[in-house]
Amino acid sequence: MFRLLATRHLPAHRRALHLGHLPNSTSPIVSTLSFFNSVTNATQDKIATFRVLDGVGRPVEGAQLPDVWGLTHSTQIDEAFARRLYENMQLLPTLDSVLYNIQRQGKTSFHMTSYGEEATIIGSAAALEADDEILGQYREMGVLLWRGFSIDSIMAQCFGNQDDTSGKGRQMPVHFGSKKLHFHTISSPLATQIPQAAGVGYALRRTVDRRDRSIAACFFGEGAASEGDFHAGMLLASTIPSPTLFIARNNGFAISTPSSEQYYGDGIASRGPGYGIDTVRVDGNDILAVIAAVREARKRTLEQGRAVLVEAMSYRVGHHSTSDDSFAYRQRSEVEDRKRVDNPIARFRLFMESQGWWNAEEEEALKTRLKADVMQAFKRADALQRCELGELFTDVYGGEEPWNITAQRDELSALLKKYGSTWEPWRTELNRFKNEGRDLMQAQTDA
């Protein structure tokens, strides 16, 4: 026979105490059968979104403007910092529009724009420290710009010319990397950067002079979060604690798959608590909200030595890439509406104007200057040759060159010697390389 415990009159937490708990678990025991499907409490069944500025750039009720910080102290956001943010936000679409168009002209092979995500990307960059390690997906060119990567370097990478410091012209466009700026080279397979970031965070924890100072910040799209690597990375960072900050850019699309088909739960943020990870969702079109959220997330991850997850909500205004035509799967009017109603650049500009920090003449002057800078860099990059052809075979592996690379170089060398100066298509192609392929044509080979 069951002996019923007379605990019904007790409040739930006392009742739970009374009933005890299981080994290996701190879960309170209850006698009421109830399922749950939300990580918030019942009165607020969706995760809230943090916002500072409204759609027309006014601080929302109760919001505080974020602090900015110098070497010695932090103060509320000031004109100089706001201008730097705004200029970097404006530089992104200026670069994007030129890089997109020159791909169409056949001058480069590919491009991916950041249209609509300027606040998410520049705001995150601004909230991090310059030597925090960045592991990006591919739409984070703005982080590099914020850190001082020049427009010439951007162009050199996209053209794959001899000045490309990211990969000597051997990577697809937008696959940037900079050791100096702590920006790990982009790789196309989705989500690989997520477990890698947990490893980088762990390495930072084990490095004495960076342990209390630097974090690993990992960007990924809501589509990439459907990969197994997302879960592997979150679990790794949760069970082997490390200062790793996950920044999910939820821009509504993974190429043609809308986020409504990407998950059934409450976005990406709902997954953080499952891994015991502090999580926040932020309006990714509000640069001040992004700065405040990422800055606080960074502080937490460093102080607690544990991972934190930020989900930034935005809308991918551009096509996925130059290989995509998004009007095949979404309405033109939807895009036009989003551009107008919730434009991250316009919102911040209105805020700046309301503070007396910006006006129409300055807007005009900035746009003219940025356009001229980008066009000049484009022309310079277009005129430069590629690296020496022989570079094709270097840096593939560390250490001693393996036999297969040597054999491939020898084969190309022999072919170039035979046909390089006589066969027209090759002669023309070779002119695009520094030293016109002579480094290989004159090389001693066994072939």
Residues making contact with ligand TPP (CB under 6 A): 139, 188-190, 221-224, 249, 251, 253-255, 316, 320
How are beta strands 308-313 and 278-283 bridged, if at all?
parallel
How are beta strands 308-313 and 244-250 bridged, if at all?
parallel
CA angle 444, 446, 447 (to 5 degrees): 105
CB of 367 to ligand TPP, least distance (A): 25
Q: Which does 144 bind (CB under 5 to 8 A by kind): Mg ion, ligand TPP, none?
A: none
Q: Which is nearer to ligand TPP, 139 or 338 (CB)?
A: 139
DSSP-based three-state secondary structure for 143:
helix
Q: Which is nearer to ligand TPP, 49 or 120 (CB)?
A: 120
Q: Which residues contact 65 (CB under 8 A, 6 or more apart)?
A: 52, 59, 76, 77, 288
Confirm if 389 and 437 have CB atoms less than 8 A apart.
yes
Q: Which is nearer to Mg ion, 31 or 256 (CB)?
A: 256
CB of 256 to ligand TPP, least distance (A): 9
Task: Single out the residue of 136, 177, 221, 272 in contact with Mg ion (rule: CB under 5 A).
Answer: 221
User: What's the length of the chain?
Assistant: 447
DSSP-based three-state secondary structure for 311:
strand
- DSSP conformation letters of 385-447: PBPPGGGGGSSSSSSSPPHHHHHHHHHHHHHHHHHTTTSHHHHHHHTTBGGGGHHHHTS----
CB of 257 to ligand TPP, least distance (A): 7
Q: Which is nearer to Mg ion, 76 or 331 (CB)?
A: 331
Q: Which does 349 bind (CB under 5 to 8 A by kind): ligand TPP, Mg ion, none?
A: none
CB of 332 to Mg ion, least distance (A): 19
190-208 in b/e form (b: 16+ CB < 10 A) is: bbbbbbbbbbbbbebbeee
Q: Show the DSSP H helices in 206-320 as ranges.
A: 228-239, 259-262, 287-304
Q: Which is nearer to ligand TPP, 243 or 284 (CB)?
A: 284
Q: Which is nearer to ligand TPP, 125 or 412 (CB)?
A: 125
Q: Which of residues 65-104 bind Mg ion (CB under 5 A)?
A: none
CB of 432 to ligand TPP, least distance (A): 28
Task: Single out the residue of 108, 113, 157, 251 in contact with Mg ion (rule: CB under 5 A).
Answer: 251
Q: Which does 320 bind (CB under 5 to 8 A by kind): Mg ion, ligand TPP, none?
A: ligand TPP
Q: Count the alpha carbons within 13 Å of 76 in the hemisphere toward its beta carbon.
A: 4
- DSSP conformation letters of 7-51: -TTS-HHHHHHHH---TT--PPP-SS------SS-TTS-S---B-
Q: Which is nearer to ligand TPP, 279 or 326 (CB)?
A: 326
Q: Which residues contact 74 (CB under 8 A, 6 or more apart)?
A: 67, 68
CB of 269 to ligand TPP, least distance (A): 15
Q: Which does 409 bind (CB under 5 to 8 A by kind): ligand TPP, Mg ion, none?
A: none
Q: Which does 255 bind (CB under 5 to 8 A by kind): ligand TPP, Mg ion, none?
A: ligand TPP
Q: Which stretch binds Mg ion (CB under 5 A): 168-176, 249-257, 297-305, 386-394?
A: 249-257
Residue 213 CA to its chain's centroid (Å): 21
CB of 192 to ligand TPP, least distance (A): 8
Q: Which stretch binds Mg ion (CB under 5 A): 47-55, 138-146, 154-162, 217-225?
A: 217-225
If one asks whether residue 262 binds Mg ion (CB under 5 A), the answer comes out as: no
Q: Which is nearer to ligand TPP, 298 or 320 (CB)?
A: 320
Confirm if 250 and 263 have CB atoms less than 8 A apart.
no
Nearest to 197 by CA among 231, 146, 237: 237
CB of 328 to ligand TPP, least distance (A): 15
DSSP-assigned letter for residue 58: P
Q: Which stretch binds Mg ion (CB under 5 A): 128-136, 215-223, 320-328, 364-372?
A: 215-223
CB of 290 to ligand TPP, least distance (A): 16
Binding site for Mg ion (CB under 5 A): 221-223, 251, 254
